[in-house]
Amino acid sequence: MSSQALENLKILFQDCPEVLRMLDLRELDQSNLTDQQLREEMKKRKLYPEPINFYATGRTGAGKTSLGNSLLGSGIMESTGRQDCTSGIQYFAMASNLRYFDLPGGGSNEEFENINRVALLIPQLEDEKEVNEFIVFDFSDHAATGQVSSQKVTVTEWQSVENQKYVSPDLILYVLAPHGQFLREDKKYLRALLKSQKARRGENRVIFALNIHRNRDGSLKPTPQNIEDARKGITEVYQEIYSGTPPIVKIDSLRGEGINQITELICEILPPEKIGNMRQVLREELKQFAEAERSRRYREALIYIASRLATYTVDTQFGNQSLLKEAYAAICSYGIKIFREEDVIAQAEKELADEVSKVAEESKQKRQKVITEKENITERREEKQTKITSVPEYDWEKITDTETDYIEIEQTRLVTDSIRRKNPVARFLFGEYKKQEVLKNETIMKPIKRTVERLEKRLVGMREEREEIGTGKYYDVVVGQRDKEVGKKALQGGYDVIEDLLAIGLGIELADAQKDLRTCFETIVKSGRVQVQMMISRYKEQINQLVESSPPDQAEDVIIRILEKVLIS
Ligand SMILES: Nc1nc2c(ncn2[C@@H]2O[C@H](COP(=O)(O)OP(=O)(O)OP(=O)(O)O)[C@@H](O)[C@H]2O)c(=O)[nH]1
Ligand SMILES: [Mg+2]
């Protein structure tokens, strides 16, 4: 793994100059820049839409130049404490695209007040020496070059339509130090200012700053009454020209206090397209802002890369490399370069190649779809023959029959018996036996008829009985179907690739910079993953659905929006 991976990844985003810009490390590597360099960087990058011309006006000594120095973060603009200190227009452009115009004050030196009036297109003081030209000092490049450029400008030039396009005030800050009271001269000047502004544009564009000076011991210079009087005086004049209450804030221009409230008012008064990020820039310390901005841009780049990879199948090749491996390596390299010290970078990148490949391999496995085919389930069976046998079929029939029973009966009857004659003569004459009737008792069997029922088995027909007999021959028969895995198909990266890629990216961003990347990489990715899951796991279904059923560029756009919503607050 090397920075090459990051360069390679850019090829994937040739169609997105915005992403290429994000991947340009110079855009993000601001860690070693000084505040001034940061300002310069921001100016170059035009983070903020339109320049805002912000004029400071008010009585001499009120604190206009001091406020400008506070904003600049230096004491470069002269503020001596002498009355009528500022004699020309002092100008500088801030990182936020706010251009500060510090004017000479009013209420003392008439010539200076006239310069002030000329700058704001207020009629000059009558009966005083008319101003025809003045000097504009530009402090914008002072911090970087030590140079202050100056230019003599005539009133005609300054007030020309062409020049006014660039310098006409978007907002005017009327600074008043209440301890010096709101005097008649101040009223006169303020009235003239508001009138000329009202004539130029209907709505009010003047903000009032009560600059509360402090004594050396820290106590406040103005009394509460002074402050109250100043508010009252300003409000009276304001209401002669506008309705409603004037926007008044309390500031301490030396300490830079109250700048936030001024910012708030600027943001309320100006149209949003003029303001851009100014609210944020002015509110935060520039360094802090730069860091937040760095994280935002880093995440934005991760989001773009993750959203695009989600729509590519996980087996996509990039040259002869796996796209996933290459992209994960690029993210790793990107994160290290942004969040790690110079000396760790090269070593870590080399040694992390395997770890990163492992994560890419895991992503790949997660997004494989098993391809199946229907397969027959067969059974081996023996061929059978049918043997048919005829089998008699019987039924039981009820039969009624008569049966003869015999009973014994005793009876007496006359029977002729042959009796042997006892007398031999008789025997001779009449035969040996003589017939003689005798009564004889005898037992006879008398038949009696009775009806009986019985079941008789009768043949009712013939039935065919079949019997399967094995033939010894076998054949295969299909008895069902089952799914058989025939291969795997790589799916689009979807949610899993997003999660893995962001786990690496956020892991590196959020890890303690002291933690050794090489030994803790797994843990770092793991805790990155926990963070990522908390933020995006609820979109898993939606993301997978998108990559599977929408055209890639549409899916990518929607995913970008989803991720931006949760990752960049
Ligand atoms: N204690 C304190 N002193 C301040 C404050 N603002 C300005 N001063 C002092 O007041 C004096 C005049 O301040 P400047 O910022 O130069 O005033 P200015 O409005 O630019 O005055 P001109 O350029 O003459 O119109 C300086 O000595 C400052 O140090 C403040 O908020 N607190
Ligand atoms: Mg000044």
Instruction: Report the share of the chain in percent with pLDDT over 70.
Output: 86
Ligand nearest to the CA of 58: 1
Task: Assess if residue 39 is contained within a domain.
Answer: no
Burial class for 543, CB neighbours closer than 10 Å (0-12, 13-18, 19+): buried
Listing DSSP states for 131-179 in one string gives P-EEEEEE-TTHHHHS--EEEEEEHHHHHSHHHHHHHS-SEEEEEE-GG
Burial class for 458, CB neighbours closer than 10 Å (0-12, 13-18, 19+): exposed
Q: Do 504 and 393 belong to one domain? A: no
Q: Do 91 and 171 belong to one domain? A: yes
pLDDT bracket for residue 232 (50, 70, 90): very high
Burial class for 476, CB neighbours closer than 10 Å (0-12, 13-18, 19+): exposed
Number of domains in the chain: 3
Q: Average per-residue pLDDT in the chain?
A: 85
Q: Residue 514 pLDDT > 80, yes or no?
A: no
Distance 414 CA to ligand 2 centre (A): 185
Q: Residue 424 pLDDT > 70, yes or no?
A: yes
Q: Residue 197 pLDDT > 50, yes or no?
A: yes
226 C-beta closer than 6 A to ligand 1? no
- The listed range with the strongest mean pLDDT (3-12, 42-51, 268-277, 553-562) is 553-562
The residue type at 112: F
Distance 42 CA to ligand 2 centre (A): 27
CATH number, position 157: 3.40.50.300
Among 110, 114, 116, 254, the mutation site with the greatest number of ligand 1 atoms within 8 A of its Cβ is: 254
pTM here is: 0.50
Q: Which atom of ligand 1 is nearest to the CA of 85?
A: 24
Helix (H) or strand (E) holding 232: helix 224-241
- SS3 (DSSP) at 409: strand
Instruction: Name which of 73-77, 398-402, 511-515, 517-521 the model is least confident about.
Output: 73-77
Task: Assess if residue 281 is contained within a domain.
Answer: no
Q: Do 213 and 337 belong to one domain? A: no
Distance 52 CA to ligand 2 centre (A): 20
Q: Which atom of ligand 1 is nearest to the CA of 66?
A: 15
Q: Do 269 and 336 belong to one domain? A: no
Q: Do 332 and 203 belong to one domain? A: no
Q: Do 260 and 345 belong to one domain? A: no
218 C-beta closer than 6 A to ligand 1? no
254 C-beta closer than 6 A to ligand 1? yes
Q: Do 342 and 424 belong to one domain? A: no
Q: Residue 196 pLDDT > 90, yes or no?
A: yes
pLDDT bracket for residue 421 (50, 70, 90): confident
pLDDT digit string (tens) for 447-474?
Answer: 999 898 988 888 889 999 999 899 999 9
pLDDT bracket for residue 132 (50, 70, 90): very high
Which residue's alpha carbon is at the smallest distance from atom 3 of ligand 1? 213
Nearest CA among 58, 52, 50 for reference residue 248: 58
Stretch 441-446: mean pLDDT: 87
Q: Do 418 and 503 belong to one domain? A: no
Q: Residue 36 pLDDT > 50, yes or no?
A: yes
Ligand nearest to the CA of 61: 1
Stretch 508-514: mean pLDDT: 86
Task: Assess if residue 18 is contained within a domain.
Answer: no
Q: Do 343 and 264 belong to one domain? A: no
Q: Do 108 and 137 belong to one domain? A: yes
Distance 122 CA to ligand 1 centre (A): 23
- Tell me how crowded residue 152 is: count the other CB atoms within 10 A of its CB: 10
90 C-beta closer than 6 A to ligand 1? no
Q: Residue 286 pLDDT > 60, yes or no?
A: no
Say if CB 243 and CB 203 are below 8 A apart: no
Task: Assess if residue 14 is contained within a domain.
Answer: no
Q: Do 234 and 305 belong to one domain? A: no
Quick one: pLDDT at residue 480? 92
Q: Domain ends where: 225, 244, 275?
A: 275
Chain length of the chain: 569
Q: Cite the beta strand spans of 212-332 per DSSP E.
A: 248-251, 317-318, 321-322
- Environment of ion ligand 2 (residues, CB < 5 A): 64-65, 85-86
pLDDT bracket for residue 318 (50, 70, 90): confident
pLDDT digit string (tens) for 76-125?
Answer: 777 666 666 677 899 988 766 678 899 999 877 888 999 999 999 999 99
Say if CB 136 and CB 151 are below 8 A apart: yes
Distance CA(493)–CA(332), nearest Å, equals 18
Q: Domain ends where: 481, 507, 528?
A: 481
Distance CA(96)–CA(205), nearest Å, equals 19
Distance 56 CA to ligand 2 centre (A): 9
Q: Domain ends where: 450, 481, 512?
A: 481
Q: Which atom of ligand 1 is nearest to the CA of 59?
A: 25
pLDDT digit string (tens) for 250-263?
Answer: 998 887 778 777 87
Q: Do 143 and 181 belong to one domain? A: yes
Q: Tell me which residue has tokens 């021959």.
A: 473
60 C-beta closer than 6 A to ligand 1? yes
Say if CB 438 and CB 414 are below 8 A apart: yes
Distance 177 CA to ligand 1 centre (A): 9
Q: Residue 376 pLDDT > 60, yes or no?
A: yes
Say if CB 492 and CB 309 are below 8 A apart: no
Quick one: pLDDT at residue 81? 60
Instruction: Report the share of the chain in percent with pLDDT over 90.
Output: 46
Domain ranges, residue 324: 292-367+491-567
Q: What is the dihedral of CA 61, 64, 69, 70, to 10 degrees?
A: 110
pLDDT bracket for residue 542 (50, 70, 90): very high
Distance 129 CA to ligand 1 centre (A): 26
